[in-house]
Every structure is written in structure tokens, then in C-alpha cells.
Chains A and B, each alone.
Chain A
């Protein structure tokens, strides 16, 4: 287990980490999770929506074909179960690491009314409380809410509404625990991370550039890893506008960051960070919706790299 990163910590990209058996394909990796043995779970939009790799990038297995409408977010809980969120399917599912369904929240293909506060309208991500097993789900593209459930899937409460004031959301896109008593929400189109108690009281907000992906370090690594989306079209090509990973402490102070100043296909560049996870060695995995953001716009359209690993190398 590693300790928390500091401002002196450095990272380097691991080029070509995932070895995908031909002709399987991610199309684009939406999100990634790492279990207690450092196995890596990639939730993607190809024909094989869930692919598993060891920490060296060797392929282990795949499952889930035909069982999802549009993969969006994945999280591992303290018992190495997976929580999968399907935004266009409007459901969240708890599964074993081998794919057995343990629980489904929401009903596949049945959205709650748009922005009406029900469960769900295009949910995005989950966070699992490490001791109580309570489940927090961001919802999402069509419903500016966080829903809280107990570990059995019973709905406890929901909070949030559309807007830009404290406690309101403009596209809550990712969520993670901050220790045991707080959750951090990527309030993506409000350019901030909002911090709440586990009962939904606003505690703080951290200004940030289009925060889209968030995860906490493992074990003694108490840091928060934040993936920033890029700028809107009006700022296309301008340097240092998102498309990087910020490493922060639990109070929201930036310690360091990595990623090239410009987006692109190079080993140290990002195109569209969308999901993030950290392993026991402090390495960072970043899933990118790079087909939606970039590959689909090429002539002809093509798949581009959508899963990045950055290894913690010093400090």
C-alpha cells in the first residue's frame, strides 16, 4: 500500500497497457474500477461491455454482452462487488466480479420523468460507503439529484435540484466517498465539486474546470483523483483547459496534476476523461469517451485509445 501523494509525487504514462484480445474492442471505455487484488474492470461501449484485466494489462475475462444499453459508470465496493450504472438503460446494478446480478435499482428502459426527482433519469455513477454499505447514485443527465439507498437497495433519501446555487446541480456526473462521513460530487456543468455529508447537507464547494470523474485513493492513500473535461468548442485548441487529472487532498487542495497541456492521441494526452480509478500501488486508470468526443468525428471514424494508465513513479 502506498501513502498519500504529495506535491513532489510524479506519474508517467504506461503506453499500450491493456492487451485486448483481437478482435474485441472497447469502442470507448466509459469507466474503470479496481478491486482489492488490483484486478481492473473496464465498462465500455463495445460488444463486450465488461472486460477484466490483471494489473499488468493481461486480459482475464469478459461478460455482459447484450445486457446493457449504454455503459456509463462502474465502482467496486468493499466486498469486491461491482456497481454498474447504465445511463440510457436508466438502471444501476450490483453484480459479483464474475457478472452475477445481485440487485438492480431502477427498471431497465423505464426512465423517471425528466428532472422530476424520481429514480432514475440517465444516472451516471455510484459511491459505496465503506462501512455501512449505503449506496449514493448521481442522477445525472436527466435529473439533477443524488439518491441514497441502504445496502439492501432500500431508498433512504434524495437531494438536489437543477440550478447553480449551493446544493443544486448542473449534471452531477461522478461521485466518491471522502472518508466515511462525506461524499464529493462532480457537478460537471457548474465547474465545481460539491461536498455533502452522507445525509445530504452541503459542506463545501471546490471550484474546478468541468470536473467529470472522481475517485478516492486506496488504503493509506487519502487523496482524491479528479478528471477534468476539456473546454467548450469556443476555446478549442487553447492550452491548459482541463483534459488532465488533478491529485487533491480531502480538503480540495491541489497537490499535483498530470496530462499534457493539450488534448490528443499521444501517450501523455487525454481526449475525454470520463471515469477514474486507483490501484493499491497508487497507479491511476483513466477511461475516456474518446470515440464520442473525437474518434466519431474523424473521417473515416475510427476507434482511438480510451483507457490510460499512469504509474506513480516517485514521491
Chain B
């Protein structure tokens, strides 16, 4: 017997989260190779991990049991994943310069951009190393952050027709320095992680600048579900000059839908312990208030250690909302 999940309220300053270590059960031979870049949750609370390992799309049920994996050879460099209200998948491949809509079982619906063919660097075309996508639940419009080589947000309708683009390189309002993640804020605004500008920028769905919120190195963002309107922001660590200094990113900060700081979780320093977070690159929430974090733990942290660890490196975290 199934029952609808109890509705959640927004997170408050009193809300507590706890890590759920060892959640994902990987069949021997399946590996994320330390880079579970991004994660999305469908209407049944199944979890999709877009990773740089053996099975680019790895699917788990909410208990962490492996359901299936697919996509071998079909992606150049997994980067971002999102799921729409009909449980379709949207996959963003930065090294391949394309965005793909697929059915829940992996069948391609349409492809935006052409695999292996980048638009000119920083020139506004589609795409040059795109990073993430958000889907408007009311209209089906798509918003793609683009990305490493093109300081833009592109808007498409639900069929994939290009509507408009905005942004340019820079630090002023409406300019970007590496737009790295994007999510809906209700149905009339979007929030962009302007990663190397250390801020979130809020826009109307027509691209009008609304506000900016200062934050440490924002890398990933999502909103709550099931009555939780909070925003969950994964903060990247500091630059190398501050390596080893505690309380600088490598955590999840939770904001109200107005951008007010509520709380955070994650230990003061990155690492492999259950309460540590290393390079939180993608983030998603489920109907129970749990938070999944996909980390590029190998690329941004462990590959840079004097003695990189052997074996499977933690790159996927689940934290459960336990009170408040």
C-alpha cells in the first residue's frame, strides 16, 4: 500500500538534516569514478545520477537499490540533469556541447545543439560548454545555463524552439562569470548560480534582472518539493590559496524563496566522511525532504591531493530532513 507523502513545509532556521551514508548500492563493476556530476528525482522518488563513470545515467529507487544504468558511449562529459513534470529527462553534456530531452527509459525526444560542435567561444550562440537546465512547470519552457564558454542563459519553448538568450561576460547585474546551475523560483522567476561571481542572480522568465544574492561560490541549486519552497545551494570550496581553511563552501546552504539565509549542512572541511561534502556540483530534493548531492569529488578535490585515494570515492550524498 502506498500513501501520499506528508506535505513538507519550508525549511526554517531550526530544521535539521542528517547524512544517510552508504545509501546508493552499486553493483560490482558499476562506478561513478568519483564524479557523480548531477542528480534528479522523478515523481516516484526514483533517483537519476548523471555521472562520468561506467553507466552515465544510473537509476536508483529511494532506498538506494540500483534499478538500471544506460548511456554508455552516448555522452562526452556529463554535467547536468533535470526531470520535468512528466518524468522526462533533460541531460546537459558540457564537453559534447548539447542538451538532450529523453523519455524516462532513455529514448531521445529531441537534441538541442549538435554533439561535438561548439558555438564560438563567448559569442552568444548555442552552445559552448552548457552546464544545466530548468523547466518551467507551468509552460514547459526550458532555461539552459551556458556555461564554461558562453556567459549566457538560453530560453526555449517546450518543443525546443529557441525564444531568446541573455547575459554577457562580466560582473555587473545581468552579466555572468560561469553560469553553472539554474532552477525555477515558482513559475515566474529563475535563479542562476553565477559561480565565479560568488552570487545568485534572479531573473524573470523573460530575462529581466530582479535581484542578486551574495553567496560563497555557488555551484548547484534546486528548490524543495511537496510544499517546501526553500532553495538548496551547493557551495564550491575556496580557491587553492585558501585550501585547508574551514567553513569555506563545500556545504549546502538553504535559503528562503526570498534569498534569506536559513541554515546549512556539511562539515567545515571536504573529505570522505559521512558528514563531509566535496565539490557539490549537482543537487536535487525528493518528496520526503531528502537532499541528494552529486559531487565532482575526483575532479575538484581528490585528484588534487598528494596521495589520491584508491577505489570508489564518495561522490553521491544523501541527507535526510529529520526535524523541523
Verify B248–A162 contact, CB threshold 8 A: yes
Asked whether B54 is an interface residue with its Cβ less than 8 Å from the other chain, the reply is no
1/0 per residue A157-170: CB within 8 Å of B? 00001111100101
B251's nearest neighbour on chain A, judged by CB, is A164
Interface check B204, CB cutoff 8 A: no
A-B CB pair tally, cutoff 8 Å: 79
Give the shortest distance, in Å, between B10 (CB) and chain A (any CB).
Answer: 21
B239 on the A face (CB < 8 A) = yes
B contact residues around A209 at 8 Å (CB): 171, 177, 197
Complex Cα gap A228–B172 (Å)? 13
- Which B residues lie within 8 Å of A168 (CB)? 247
Nearest residue in A to B212 (C-beta to C-beta)?
A207
CB closest chain-B residue, reference A239: B169
Q: Mark A212-243, 1 if CB is under 8 A from B, else 0.
A: 00000000000000001001101100111110
Per the bound structure, the CA–CA distance linking A162 and B246 in Å amounts to 6
Picked from B148, B177, B248, B261, the residue with its CB within 8 Å of the CB of A231 is B177
Q: What is the CA–CA distance of A239 and B124 in the complex, to the nearest angstrom? A: 14
Q: Which residue of the partner chain, among B196, B241, B247, contacts A141 with CB atoms under 8 Å? A: B241
Interface presence of A287 (CB below 8 A):
no
Residue of B nearest to A246 (CB): B171
B254 in the interface, Cβ–Cβ < 8 Å?
Answer: no
CA distance A81 to B169 in the complex (A): 42
Contact between B242 and A170 (Cβ–Cβ < 8 Å)? yes
**How many residues of chain B get a CB closer than 8 Å to chain A's CBs?**
30
CB distance from A122 to the nearest CB of B (A): 11
**Distance between B185 CB and nearest chain A CB, rounded to angstroms:** 19
Inter-chain CA distance A211–B86, complex, in Å, is: 45
The answer to the question of A189 belonging to the interface, with a C-beta cut-off of 8 Å to chain B, is yes
Residue A144, interface by CB 8 Å: yes
A129: Cβ under 8 A from any B Cβ: no
Contact, CB under 8 Å: A191 / B197: yes
* Inter-chain contacts of B170 with A (CB < 8 A): 239-241
User: B195-228: which residues lie under 8 A (CB-CB) from chain A?
Assistant: 196-199, 212, 214-216
**Counting CB contacts under 8 A, is A147 at the interface?**
no
Is the pair A205, B177 in contact by a Cβ cutoff of 8 Å? no
Q: Do A232 and B239 touch across chains, with their CB atoms under 8 A apart?
A: yes
Please, how many residues of chain A have a CB less than 8 angstroms from a CB on the other chain? Answer: 28
In the complex the two chains form, what is the Cα distance from A238 to B151 in whole Å?
Answer: 9
Chain B residues near A141 (CB-CB < 8 A): 241
| A190 close to B216 (CB less than 8 A) | yes
Max chain B Cβ within 10 angstroms of own Cβ: one of A191, A228, A239: A191
Chain B residues 230-245 with CB under 8 Å of chain A are 235, 238-239, 241-242, 245
Is A27's beta carbon under 8 Å from chain B?
Answer: no
A165 to B247, CA, bound (A): 9
Contact of A207 among B148, B168, B177, B214 (CB under 8 A): B214
Q: Determine the residue in chain A with the shortest Cβ distance to B171.
A: A209
Task: Tell me the minimal C-beta distance from A88 to chain B in angstroms.
Answer: 14
Given the complex of chains A and B, what is the CA–CA distance between A264 and B263 in angstroms? 42
Contact flags A84-121 to B (C-beta < 8 A → 1, else 0): 00000000000000000000000000000001000000
Task: Say yes or no for A171: interface residue by CB 8 A criterion.
Answer: yes
Cβ of A192 and Cβ of B245 under 8 Å apart?
no
Q: How far is the CA of A231 from the CA of B169 in the complex (A)?
A: 11
Write out, one digit per residue, whether chain B residues 109-126 have a CB within 8 A of any chain A CB (1) or not (0). 000000000000010000
Report whether B169 and A162 are in contact in the complex, using a CB–CB cutoff of 8 Å: no
Indicate if B178 sits at the interface (CB-CB under 8 A). Answer: yes
Docked-complex contact B214 and A192, CB < 8 angstroms: yes
B88 within 8 A of A: no
Residue B100 at the A interface, CB < 8 A? no
Residue contact B177 to A235, C-beta cutoff 8 Å: yes
**How far does the Cβ of A115 sit from chain B's closest Cβ, in whole Å?**
6
Chain B 163-179 per-residue mask, 1 if CB under 8 angstroms from chain A, else 0: 00000111110010110
Q: Given the complex of chains A and B, what is the CA–CA distance between A141 and B214 in angstroms?
A: 22
The answer to whether A191 touches B169 (Cβ under 8 A) is no
B169 touches A163 (CB 8 A): no
Measured between beta carbons, the chain A residues less than 8 angstroms from B199 are: 191, 207
In the bound complex, what is the Cα–Cα distance between A168 and B198 (angstroms)? Answer: 16
B198 and A207 form a contact (CB under 8 A): yes
- Complex Cα distance A205/B241, Å? 22
Contact B177 A163 (CB under 8 A): no
Tell me how far the C-beta of A67 lies from the nearest C-beta in chain B, rounded to whole angstroms: 26
Q: Quick one: closest A residue to B248, CB to CB?
A: A170
Chain A: minimal CB distance from B211 (Å):
11
Question: Which of A161, A189, A205, A234 contacts B242, CB < 8 Å?
Answer: A189
- 16 pairs of residues in contact across A and B, judged by CB atoms under 8 Å: A144-B245, A163-B246, A164-B247, A164-B248, A164-B249, A165-B247, A171-B241, A190-B216, A205-B214, A207-B198, A207-B212, A207-B214, A232-B196, A235-B196, A240-B170, A241-B171
Give me 11 other A-B pairs in contact (C-beta within 8 A), A170-B216, A207-B199, A238-B151 excluded. A141-B241, A162-B246, A163-B247, A164-B215, A164-B247, A164-B249, A190-B216, A205-B214, A238-B122, A240-B175, A241-B196
Interface residues of B (CB under 8 A from A): 122, 148, 151, 168-172, 175, 177-178, 196-199, 212, 214-216, 235, 238-239, 241-242, 245-249, 261
Nearest 10 A/B pairs, CB to CB: A240-B170, A163-B247, A191-B198, A164-B216, A209-B171, A207-B214, A162-B245, A238-B169, A239-B169, A162-B246
